[in-house]
Chains A and B, each alone.
Chain A
Amino acid sequence: MSHITNIISKELKELLTPGSVISVVLMVVLFAGLGGMIDSEIEKAQAFPELCVVNEDASIIEFTDADGTYTWSISSFLEDLYTSSGIPEDELSDYIRLVDSDSIDEAYAIMDEEGIGSALFVDPDFSKDIVSGTRGVVEQIYVYEPTGMFGTVSSSVVSSVMSMINEDLSKRLLGTQIDMTDYGFLTEPIDYNGDNVKTIVNGKVVSGITPQEIAGEVSSQTMMIPIIIMIIIMMVGSLVISSMGSEKENKTLETLLTLPIKRTSIVAGKIIAAAIVGLVYGLAYMVGMSIYMNSLTGTMSSGLNLEDLGLTLSVGDYALVMLSMFLSIICALGICMILGAFAKNYKSAQTMTMPLSIMAMIPMFIVMFSGWYGSGALIQAVTFAIPFSHPMMAMQALMYDDVTLVLSGIAYMVVFAVATILITVKLYNSDILITGLGQNKTVQKLTGRK
């Protein structure tokens, strides 16, 4: 064996420990899982949404061409569109809901009752207007849901569908109503944009704003929280675990444990000091990130004022967000103290930070991509179980007055933090801190070592 291969072999043995290999495998699994989740979210978002067509009768228009007379309506166009996209005819009623009413308020009530996110409200004079060469009005109505990055894509799909309806009607008018000369009308026979877009936010109807615009504005104000939380947790976690590794390596921990001080005081002291550092980091990052985000979003801002939509936070809400952040840091430190108890030295402590980083990244991606409200029950359960998710979700939840979610998250984090601290104290009272896992009876049984 040459000198260089000798060194490479030694280095590889040192670097590729079971801990580091497991961490890499977990990372691959995490990213593969996230990829799958993003794929399904995009697929879900791009699929034809469930759509309610209100006052369908008003859209029926009679056309005459060389083959004779036929009728056209928005619903018949939609049925053709959905079936040509592979949706079976017998399932069409699951996608297109026709409501015979000329009251827009009734449309809102139906959407609310049946949980339908998008609707097209056809003006009672629609067909009369089209036949007389006047632009017919179709209002797009959306219910805004506080979802993640892809949650509002369905509204843009509806908008595209509306544009297809407009184009189809235009073609038919051009093919039959040759006596019309208003080409503006012939190319854009339907008036469906501007104030004809209505979005229901927190039960309030706002005109001229799409859910995507609201989502963009909300995320520009809330997205930095998950990123900051993730950074703080990874950074503070690494500090605490490394400090435990150093204490063991330098044998200062042995000295500390023989001093006349309660184990709970040692654990609490370490956690509080690291939590203070975490909050200082958090504030520094928040200031830095808000300057960065303001300069970034300032140029791209939609000019939307979230206050007008009732999507603002009170002082009490901010206090809850801060409390949630603080508790999540305490939970992270509790986990770190447990992980740190198993670190043999500074080097092994470095690999111990990986599970924590993964735990911090999972909720960040979930909150950013699908959001709490847009996720399925399983993902919601996983998100809720990870304590760091709660401050990431808190701001958005409070904007939608979902105080229950925030308070239950806070209660969960309190229980989690107390449990981790108690486990840490128990570890500090056991031999594991001094002897490591190798001398543990259960581990010996599992590994077959003596």
Chain B
Amino acid sequence: MVDALVLNDVRKSYGNREAVHGISLTVKEGEIFGLIGHNGAGKTTTLRMISTLLNITSGTISVYGYDVATEPGKVREIISYLPEDAGAYKDLTGRAYLEFIAGFFASGKERDAMVEKGMRLADLGDRIDSKVDTYSKGMMRRLLIARAIMPSPKLAIMDEVTSGLDVINAFEIREIIREIARSGVTVVMSSHNMFEVDMLCDRVGVIDGGNLILLGTPGELKERYGADTLEEVFVKAVKNA
């Protein structure tokens, strides 16, 4: 199976403070990979480096063979990044927002088809023509997930994708993530919700204090720690770290 994402001894410093201390991992094509860790552990910084938003202090990251530091343009063509608590342009309607984003990936009929796909994924009915600032948090998240998936990225990076959503919205978004992974899209996501990570992810990485302290499938990790849940694994791993 192709390596979709390879991190090799990746470090990130903010001034004199090192936030990420030499993380190395590989994510295979079509995998759903979960990064878990408490607040400030370095998850978002890692996702932002993969997404070309932050410069890497040392080490390398490659996405489908493209180096993030030297070929950011190529990387951006095949990824989609969904930040935590992301919003959309409030004065646009949902449809206009999807059209705006689709304009960066395609033109003409191809663009129209992409927008149609986005609207189908968002499943907002008539509200797709309402202004974004009238949307509930769940509707906004659906629109943004649709935006992220609509261009058919090879790698989708999602930070706290269901954070703050109600049960139904969170369930539906998890279904969408499963569906896109089945279609061959690689997903790298971070979450505080261990139940969600346990259910969704093929493999999990636990980050603590900028270090990758655990890596494996949820089953392997539970077995290694003699735990029933991933939450228990996480607590034990962090306490022993």
Binding site for B on A (CB under 8 A): 249-252, 254-255, 257-262, 430-431, 434-435, 439-441, 443-445, 450
Contacts and interface: CB of A to CB of B under 8 A. Distances in A.
Given A430-B55, A450-B17, 12 more contacts: A251-B84, A252-B87, A252-B89, A255-B86, A255-B101, A255-B147, A257-B52, A257-B53, A260-B76, A261-B104, A262-B73, A443-B15
A350 B93 CA distance: 26
Interface string B9-35: 000001111000000000000000000
Given A251-B83, A251-B86, A258 B51 contact: yes
Given A254-B53, A258-B81, A444 B16 contact: yes
B54 to A, nearest CB: 5
Contacts of A450: 15-17
A149 B174 CA distance: 70
10 contacts: A250-B86, A251-B85, A254-B81, A255-B86, A255-B147, A258-B79, A259-B104, A434-B53, A444-B14, A450-B17
B17 to A, nearest CB: 6
B80 A441 contact: no
Given A257-B52, A258-B80, A260-B76, A250 B88 contact: yes
A439 B15 contact: yes
Given A260-B76, A439-B14, A441-B16, A254 B86 contact: yes
Nearest to B91: A246
B53 A260 contact: no
A7 to B, nearest CB: 27
B50 to A, nearest CB: 10
A22 B199 CA distance: 52
B55 A258 contact: no
A444 B15 contact: yes
Q: A-B pairs with the 5 shortest C-beta distances?
A: A250-B87, A444-B15, A439-B14, A258-B81, A441-B15
Contacts of A259: 76, 101, 104
A450 to B, nearest CB: 6
Contacts of A254: 48, 51, 53, 81, 83, 86
Contacts of A443: 15
B77 interface: yes
A330 to B, nearest CB: 24
A278 B223 CA distance: 64
Interface residues of B, number: 29
A166 B182 CA distance: 103
Given A250-B90, A260-B76, A255 B83 contact: yes
Contacts of A249: 87
Prevailing SS type, chain B contact patch: loop
A440 B17 CA distance: 10
Nearest to B85: A251
A260 B77 contact: yes
B88 A260 contact: no
B98 to A, nearest CB: 12
B15 A258 contact: no
Contacts of A439: 14-15
A439 B17 CA distance: 9
A33 B104 CA distance: 49
Interface in B47-105: 48, 51-55, 73, 76-77, 79-90, 101, 104-105
Contacts of A435: 14, 54
A116 B48 CA distance: 68
A434 B54 contact: yes
B14 A258 contact: no
A447 to B, nearest CB: 10
A384 to B, nearest CB: 37
A266 to B, nearest CB: 11
Contacts of B76: 258-261
Contacts of A441: 15-16
Contacts of A445: 15
Nearest to A257: B53
A254 B7 CA distance: 21
B15 A431 contact: no
Q: Which of B14, B17, B77, B82 has the most CB of A within 10 A?
A: B14
Given A250-B90, A430-B55, A434-B48, A260 B104 contact: yes
Contacts of B86: 250-252, 254-255
Contacts of A262: 73
Contacts of B77: 260
Nearest to B48: A434
A249 B179 CA distance: 31
Q: Which of B48, B77, B85 has the most CB of A within 10 A?
A: B48
Nearest to B55: A431
Given A251-B83, A431-B54, A260 B105 contact: yes
A448 to B, nearest CB: 11
B54 A260 contact: no
A434 to B, nearest CB: 5
A260 B73 contact: yes
A234 B61 CA distance: 43
B15 A252 contact: no
